[in-house]
């Protein structure tokens, strides 16, 4: 590429590059530095070496928050994929009504997370909530979803399914991309419905499923909005249920309530490493489990 | 290779922009003061006065603002940065050297802000503008005083009253004295008598001891200050504090546990006609005085009974909170800020506010139930303007003023957020059955004391 073309290209890219440098790249680098300091926003940062990390590994609330977050992610991601896939399969057979249902399923995704948090408290109220009302109708005595620590996370997992709409659309697109002749061949070979699903559908949509798994795992490990609104936000700030203390919520408390910016930055880097490690494992597993059409086997 | 060299200066420029912009976020490190500022009530002021955290939405605010703007004169342009004070936003403005001239904060935030040199000590402002601090409610002033220096001009006072459903009390053969906190055994018995369980669960909450937020109230009722007067020593594991927590939690346990009570409480129409007292689903609870006005407005015929909350000696007691005006370090117009704070909390301002509210209430055909100003003399003045709403509301107002004379607060300290979090975590752990009161408070004591020690160490290192 000629020098003038380089300059022209950089000129066109510069708005994004400057934005990236100022608002993403440099804050990332700077947070790495802050993680080695004691910094309260207003006074100069004091270099403390690795002590934030040492303190972090000894902090029982970090362990608690991490355990809560991992539990949420491990339960939520498979459930999210299963529900998304089930709805996508149904939509795939919905014919002319498909467009209407696609819109309906996607609408909840447009709801602000704060509203979802409040909705959670209303729907899952142990005494008068709609969920327990429904369970009571079939003879089940529902739990105290919002106040019993054992049921807080399962409740939040169920509530998170509220936003499966976008994943449903991705999976629906993948399902529609499966060549019809593969099903015809399988049928001619005597494959039943389950066999066709397991041997044709799943492998063919596995890249889309993998994408949803990776993205939702990262989102799950960064869960914040709904749980914060429901258990730590205005009106509930005094009832900060430990069962809903997710990692990013504790990070937020350290940064913006206690102004321990150095400690919070160290927490952010630990989370980054955890996410990176989990994503790396998923990428390695994907080589065995994900089928890319046309890729060398 | 030529292309790469061409990109280098460009990328360097971008990196410099990044460095320069984040340089703005680095702390100032220097503590600004107001040594050169002349506070003089007679001086003519000018410039802009930016106020953060104050919205001025009701007649109590606007009537005082009118008076404050008069005192500032035409030369001062008041700019409100509305909404509740966002601590991080405020500290960022201080760190970048562009703070507002005045902030309106919760009083329990003042200690931390002062310890970080984010706000100025107000001794020169108080002396210069002639603010009479002896007028302020003692506990309110204590909450904004760190190491003997006043850092905030307090206003408003929030106190608790015992609120009860008189019909439910009468039906159970009880009186308000049985649920006002003066005798915990009697209160536990009253709780059991008032509680009603039905086929679908709790139908009447006997007593709501309002945990975790009112734990300091119950601890003080047992004679315990959860933090020492100088803000240095936590006292969360005091045996009497443990006893207070055990008892307050037992109130929920007797009704099936906190989870059931909270779920039932959350399902109520707290601010509407279907509130717990109007619908007869709550026997009694301690609650802030503002709720009296809510109840009088939305359910004037509800069978209420009021008293102060009492300690175990039968004396009135209230855990006070409120707001305060503070001048940020580096404020460009501290003279105007100080005069605004004085004017907004003056006797004239409170009289104007009370008059404005009185007139509004008369237009609405409702009684004026008073305002707790944080200024004891203003409270007396306003109390004289209160109009009768008949019983039980007059008894409620009477209890409110009595409670206002018997307040305590958690003293200012440099780790107030961490202290409160440790305390609430302990209470929540007990409420959810994850820990016993003694263990939870012992853990909280360790966490809170460590936070206090570290915060005080930082304060002393900066001195």
ipTM: 0.77
Residue A257 near residue A228, CB atoms below 8 Å: no
Residues whose CB is less than 8 angstroms from the CB of residue B330 and which lie 6 or more positions away in sequence, other chains included:
B28, B32, B94, B97, B98, B99
Task: Say if A97 is an interface residue toward chain B (CB within 8 Å).
Answer: no
For A:191-250, CB contacts with B below 8 A are 238-243
DSSP character at residue A199 = I
CB B33 within 8 A of CB B328: no
| pLDDT tier for residue A40 given thresholds of 50, 70 and 90 | confident
Beta bridge partners of B47: B76
**What's the pLDDT score for residue A124?**
86
Q: Spell out the residues 6+ positions from residue B218 whose beta carbon is closer than 8 angstroms to its own.
A: B181, B209, B244, B245, B247, B248
pTM value is 0.82
The per-residue pLDDT for A99 is 80
Q: From CA A87, how far away is CA A108, in angstroms rounded?
A: 14
CB contact under 8 A, A18 and B21: no
A&B contacts, CB < 8 Å: 133
Q: Are B138 and B408 in contact (CB under 8 A)?
A: no
pLDDT digits (tens, 9 = 90+) for A70-112: 999 999 999 999 999 999 999 888 777 778 888 888 888 788 8
Q: Name the residue in chain A with its Cα closest to that of B5.
A: A3
Establish if B11 belongs to a structural domain.
no
Q: Which pLDDT score, from 0 to 100, does residue B317 have? A: 96
Q: Which residues are bridge partners to B309 per DSSP?
A: B317
d(CA A152, CA A173): 34
CA neighbor of A42 nearest in space, from B34, B110, B90: B90
Verify that B119 and B79 share a domain, yes or no: yes
The enclosing H or E element of B307 equals: strand B304-310
Half-sphere exposure of B182 (CA within 13 A, CB side): 14
Give the model confidence (pLDDT) of A1-15 as tens digits: 688 888 899 899 999
Of B26, B117, B200, the CB nearest to A45: B26
pLDDT of residue B36: 79
Q: DSSP label at A44? A: P
B155 and B183 share one domain = no
Same domain? B310 vs B397:
no
The angle formed by the CA atoms of residues B99, B105 and B106, to the nearest 5 degrees, is 155
Q: For B234, which DSSP code?
A: B
CA-nearest of B369, B286, B371, B362 to B60 is B371
Instruction: Specify the DSSP class assigned to residue B310.
Output: E
d(CA A282, CA A289): 10
Distance (Å, whole) CA B7 – CA B172: 84
**Angle in degrees, 0-180, between the axes of helices A51-58 and A261-289, rounded to the nearest 10:** 70
Residues B357 and B233 in one domain: no
Does the beta-carbon distance from B15 to A128 stay under 8 Å?
A: no
pLDDT (mean) for A182-207: 92
State how far the Cα of B99 lies from the Cα of B329, in Å rounded to an integer.
8
Whole-number average pLDDT of chain A: 89
- Both B41 and B137 in one domain: the answer is yes
Q: What does the domain layout of chain A look like in residue ranges?
A: 60-289
Is residue B198 a part of any domain in this protein?
Answer: yes
Report the domain count for chain B.
2
Distance from CA of A29 to the nearest CA of B (A): 10
Sheet containing B160-165: order of strands: B196-198, B201-207, B282-288, B160-165, B304-310, B316-319, B407-408
* Cβ neighbours of A121 in B, within 8 Å: 266
Whether residues B267 and A3 touch (CB distance < 8 A) is answered with no
Structural domain includes residue B2: no
B456 shares a domain with B402:
no
What is d(CA A249, CA A223) in angstroms, rounded to the nearest whole number? 8
Domain for residue B96, yes or no?
A: yes
- Shared domain for B428 and B383, answered yes or no, is no
Distance of CA B446 to the CA centre of its chain: 25
Q: What is the pLDDT of residue A127?
A: 78
Q: Are residues B144 and B88 in the same domain?
A: yes
Nearest-CA neighbor of B267 among A71, A146, A249?
Answer: A146
Residue B420 in any domain: the answer is yes
pLDDT tens, N- to C-terminus, chain B (463 residues): 444 455 555 555 555 554 454 444 444 444 557 777 788 888 888 889 999 999 878 899 999 999 999 999 988 999 988 888 888 889 889 888 899 999 999 999 999 999 888 999 999 999 999 999 999 999 999 999 998 999 999 999 999 999 999 999 999 999 999 999 999 999 999 999 999 998 778 899 999 999 988 999 999 999 999 999 899 999 999 999 999 999 999 999 999 888 889 888 888 888 898 899 999 999 999 999 999 988 988 888 899 999 999 999 999 999 999 999 999 999 999 999 999 999 999 999 999 999 999 999 899 888 899 999 999 999 999 999 989 888 899 999 999 999 999 999 999 999 988 999 899 989 988 998 889 999 999 999 999 999 999 999 988 887 6
**Do residues B398 and B419 share a domain?**
no
CATH of the domain at B154: 3.40.190.10
Q: How far apart are CA A25 and CA A21, in angstroms?
A: 5
**Whether residue B225 sits in one domain with residue B123:** no
Convert the pLDDT of each residue in A229-239 to its tens digit: 888 876 555 56
CB–CB of A40 and B116 under 8 A?
yes
For residue B92, give the nearest of A3, A41, A125 by CB distance.
Answer: A41
Domain that holds residue B313: 160-318+414-462
| Residue A226 tokens, joined | 């709904």
One domain, residues B152 and B257: no
**Does residue A122 carry a pLDDT above 90?**
no
Q: Which of B277, B221, B276 is nearest to B393 (CA)?
A: B277
Q: Tokens standing for A178? A: 């499966």
Nearest to B262 by CA among A114, A152, A59: A152
Q: How far apart are CA B390 and CA B394, in angstroms?
A: 6
Give the residue from B368, B383, B411 where a domain finishes. Answer: B411
DSSP A215-247: HHHHHHHT--HHHHHHHTSTTTTT---GGG--H
Average pLDDT, stretch A15-29?
A: 92
Taking the C-alpha atoms of A112, A113, A118 and A124 in order, what is their torsion angle to the nearest 10 degrees? 120
Indicate whether B25 belongs to any domain.
Answer: no
Element (H, E) at A135: helix A130-137
Residue recorded with tokens 């006070």: B320
% of chain A at pLDDT higher than 90: 55
Q: Cα separations (Å) of A297 from A175, A205, B383?
A: 22, 17, 86
Q: Which residues contact B160 (CB under 8 A, 6 or more apart)?
A: B214, B217, B286, B287, B288, B289, B309, B318, B319, B403
Instruction: Give the residue from A186, A212, A180 showing the smallest Cα distance to A85.
Output: A212
Which residues are B323's β-sheet partners?
B106, B155
3.30.565.10, 1.10.3720.10, 3.30.300.30, 1.10.1270.20: CATH of A60-289: 1.10.3720.10
CA distance A17 to A26: 12
- Across B187-237, the runs of DSSP E, i.e. the strands, are 196-198, 201-207
Q: Which pLDDT belongs to residue B357?
A: 92
Contacts of B91 in chain A (CB under 8 A): 40-42, 259
Same domain for B247 and B324, yes or no, is: no
Q: Are strands A37-38 and A46-47 parallel, antiparallel or unpaired?
A: antiparallel
Yes or no, beta carbons of A126 and B424 under 8 Å apart: no
């Amino acid at each position: 590429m000629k020098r003038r073309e380089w300059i022209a290209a950089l000129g066109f890219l510069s708005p994004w590059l400057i934005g990236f440098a100022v608002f993403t790249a440099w804050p990332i680098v700077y947070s790495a530095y802050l993680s080695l300091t004691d910094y309260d926003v207003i006074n100069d940062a004091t270099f403390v070496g690795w002590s934030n990390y040492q303190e972090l590994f000894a902090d029982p609330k970090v362990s608690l928050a991490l355990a809560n977050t991992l539990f949420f992610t491990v339960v939520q991601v498979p459930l999210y994929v299963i529900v998304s896939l089930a709805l996508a399969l149904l939509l795939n057979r919905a014919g002319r009504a498909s467009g209407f249902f696609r819109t309906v399923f996607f609408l909840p995704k447009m709801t602000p997370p704060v509203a979802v948090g409040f909705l959670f408290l209303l729907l899952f109220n142990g005494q008068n909530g709609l969920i327990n009302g429904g369970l009571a109708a079939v003879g089940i005595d529902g739990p105290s979803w919002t106040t019993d620590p054992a049921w807080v996370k399962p409740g939040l997992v169920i509530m998170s399914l509220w936003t499966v709409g976008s994943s449903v659309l991705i999976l629906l697109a993948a399902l529609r991309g499966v060549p019809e002749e593969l099903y015809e061949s399988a049928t001619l070979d005597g494959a039943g419905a389950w066999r066709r699903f397991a041997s044709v559908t799943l492998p063919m949509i596995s890249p889309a499923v993998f994408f949803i798994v990776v993205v939702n795992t990262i989102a799950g490990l960064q869960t914040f909005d709904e749980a914060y609104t429901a258990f730590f936000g205005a009106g509930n700030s005094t009832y900060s249920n430990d069962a809903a203390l997710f990692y990013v919520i504790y990070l937020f408390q350290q940064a913006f309530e206690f102004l321990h910016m150095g400690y919070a930055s160290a927490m952010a880097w630990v989370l980054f490493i955890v996410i990176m490690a989990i994503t790396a494992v998923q990428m390695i597993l994907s080589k065995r489990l994900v089928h890319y059409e046309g890729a060398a086997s | 290779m030529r292309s790469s060299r061409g990109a280098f200066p460009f990328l360097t420029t971008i990196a410099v922009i990044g460095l320069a912009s984040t340089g703005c976020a680095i702390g100032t490190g220097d503590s600004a003061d107001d040594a050169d500022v002349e506070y003089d009530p007679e001086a003519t002021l000018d410039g802009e006065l930016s106020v953060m955290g104050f919205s001025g939405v009701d007649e109590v605010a606007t009537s005082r603002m009118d008076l404050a703007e008069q005192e500032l004169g035409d030369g001062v342009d008041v700019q409100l940065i509305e909404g509740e004070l966002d601590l991080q936003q405020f500290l960022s403005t201080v760190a970048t050297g562009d703070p507002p001239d005045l902030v309106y904060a919760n009083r329990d935030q003042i200690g931390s802000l002062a310890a970080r040199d984010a706000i100025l000590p107000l001794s020169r402002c108080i002396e210069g503008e002639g603010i009479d601090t002896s007028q302020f409610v003692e506990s309110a002033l204590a909450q904004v005083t760190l190491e003997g220096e006043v850092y905030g001009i307090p206003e408003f006072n929030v106190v608790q009253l015992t609120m009860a459903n008189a019909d439910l009390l009468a039906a159970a053969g009880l009186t308000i004295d049985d649920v006002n906190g003066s005798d915990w055994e009697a209160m536990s018995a009253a709780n059991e008598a008032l509680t009603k369980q039905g086929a679908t669960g709790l139908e009447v909450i006997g007593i709501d001891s309002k945990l975790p937020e009112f734990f300091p109230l119950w601890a003080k009722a047992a004679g315990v200050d959860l933090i020492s007067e100088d803000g240095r020593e936590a006292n969360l594991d005091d045996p009497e504090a443990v006893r207070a927590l055990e008892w307050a939690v037992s109130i929920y346990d007797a009704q099936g546990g906190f989870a059931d009570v909270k779920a039932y409480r959350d399902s109520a129409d707290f601010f509407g006609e279907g509130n717990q007292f109007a619908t007869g689903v709550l026997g009694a609870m301690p609650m802030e005085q503002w709720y009296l006005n809510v109840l009088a407005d939305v359910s004037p015929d509800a069978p209420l009974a009021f008293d102060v909350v009492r300690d175990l000696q039968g004396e009135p007691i209230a855990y006070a909170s409120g707001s305060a005006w503070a001048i940020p370090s580096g404020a460009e117009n501290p003279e105007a800020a100080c005069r605004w704070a004085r004017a907004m909390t003056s006797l004239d301002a409170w009289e104007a506010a009370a008059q404005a509210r009185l007139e509004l209430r008369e237009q609405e055909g409702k009684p004026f139930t008073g305002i707790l100003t944080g200024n004891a003399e203003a409270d007396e003045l306003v109390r004289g303007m209160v109009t009768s709403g008949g019983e039980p509301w007059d008894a409620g107002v009477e209890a409110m003023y009595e409670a206002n004379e018997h307040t305590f607060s958690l003293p200012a300290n440099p780790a107030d957020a961490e202290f409160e979090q440790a305390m609430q975590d302990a209470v929540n752990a007990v409420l959810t059955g994850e820990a016993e009161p003694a263990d939870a408070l012992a853990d909280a004591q360790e966490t809170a004391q460590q936070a206090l020690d570290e915060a005080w160490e930082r304060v002393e290192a900066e001195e």
